[in-house]
Structure 1
């Protein structure tokens, strides 16, 4: 007897949760997630291969997505359309946060001349809302709109340290993927580090997400509730960059963003 369990797509390269491919919405999301940051456009055959959906289904849905400006048709196949970018910029929480945080991020970049990140918590991952870097920016594995695990990034650890205790427990009880030889995968060691982060107000990463880079991060906390809203960080190559030297600047930027968010909320 065939299983009644809905077909689900595997987690994407960026770590999004699986979707039910038996529904139209699930099929659409599977097609959109088939594109990666390295893709410009994809032929129909490649979309079929990556999604595992029937060719006729992919062809029909891709055509409908072109019609509503979520995909563009090209000579080689299909590519993500600017309509997706427009929808993304309508995300109210991230848009408001970004508008307020951007002057602080720009000031932090001007002071350090190293790569500056703004990230928010999503499940067991950090989603990067903004990334500012100049010509000599570090070759960090992050990108705007991308995801990274909480346990191996400075900004992720800053978020996790101030997150709900139940999330912290769940992350520490889950397998911690080793991304480099220096990634902390022992729950006890990570738990002690998170305690230190809560006390000091800053988190550090030393070659835990990628070789050769270091990071200092600080949480942006809601002034009224002390709940974590986001986190800001500065990342650079350890050949020239000392994360601890920028701890005060990063902490000040996070505090400034939090205060501005609170004032904006009071004016509503």
Structure 2
């Protein structure tokens, strides 16, 4: 994939800058938590510097019944909470749609080579179909399917080469030349990611053709980022710790998932604070 043009690079950097300011409260909240958890005292009593791994693996963070702070506060995970509170679910879907409008404009103009030879695509967890619709309009020869939960796609209307399907991505994904996962895998732990990636591999491998998986997600410490991107990545790490049983991953961690789920190679292209990862069987 060619380098992103100046116009879209500026748009992506502006988005990262805006997200950083939107999530700035995470800095002060993290400092508050550090003080309440007596982290300065823990380090001081240790008698010498501590690595991040030593600190995270310390006994003080292992207590409790497990789960996320959101589960502790509401008694259920974020997805189940959204089922019971449509207003929260709608707000989440609108936020993801807004983000996807920026990403889709870059994909269909700057990443055309990525779709060469692709005649069918499934956007897994594609929400109300912003990216799927953009791809369908930009590439009329591609038959696009958007797969998401029934309550998300119930009122979505397709077009000639765009269809919406209700289903559970962990149970099965329709066969296609390409499977798209935008900001999906970081919501899940490694075990669930392996299950989902294996489903993706099943969907793109057929007797006639072998396709690919396109992942849009964060690659921690990958070259190409700037200070805003790095700071935002760390803020999003904190958001995931609070809300879901997921994580942001380094290239090494991504590669481990790919190899363990049956893939053989991948290609990473930086996209501001995120990256596009093309994964091949």
Using the size of structure 1 for normalisation, the TM-score is 0.31
Greater helix fraction, Structure 1 or Structure 2: 2
TM-score (norm 2): 0.30
